[in-house]
Amino acid sequence: MDPYTIFGDIVAGRAPASKVYEDDDVCAFMDIRPITPGHLLVVPKIPARSLAELDPAVGGKLFAVGQRLAAALRASEVGCDGVNFFLADGVVAGQEVFHVHLHVIPRTVDDGFRL
């Protein structure tokens, strides 16, 4: 499988994205087609196409950063009432970009989105 994905370019700063967080291991940015306002993606800087390829320590960091972003979303002007975490691993699970990413999806009572 081709290891190239747009997320690698976003992490490297070669493609535009609205980044909201970055450290040595992970990067978070706005989803280009948000399911709800404020929908974020948290990705490892070292590309992993699947959970099987992902360093578990970095996986833990994806979750920890997602947790902090969820708290920030709740406190922000987005003003959500709840948050969904979602991670698609494999085509059958709905994965479209083969660079592991954790969706952080703010929820409000009237957003109309159904899982």
Per rule CB under 6 A, is residue 29 in the interface with ligand 5GP?
A: yes
Minimum distance from residue 69 beta carbon to ligand 5GP (Å):
14
Cα torsion at 31, 36, 42, 48 (round to 10°)?
-70
Per rule CB under 6 A, is residue 114 in the interface with ligand 5GP?
A: no
Minimum distance from residue 66 beta carbon to ligand 5GP (Å):
14
Over its C-alpha atoms, the chain yields an Rg (Å, rounded) of 14
- 99 as an active site residue: the answer is no
Of the residues 8, 88, 107, 108, which one makes contact with ligand 5GP according to CB under 6 A: 88
Catalytic residues: 101
What residues make contact with ligand 5GP under the rule CB under 6 A?
6, 17, 29-33, 88, 94-97
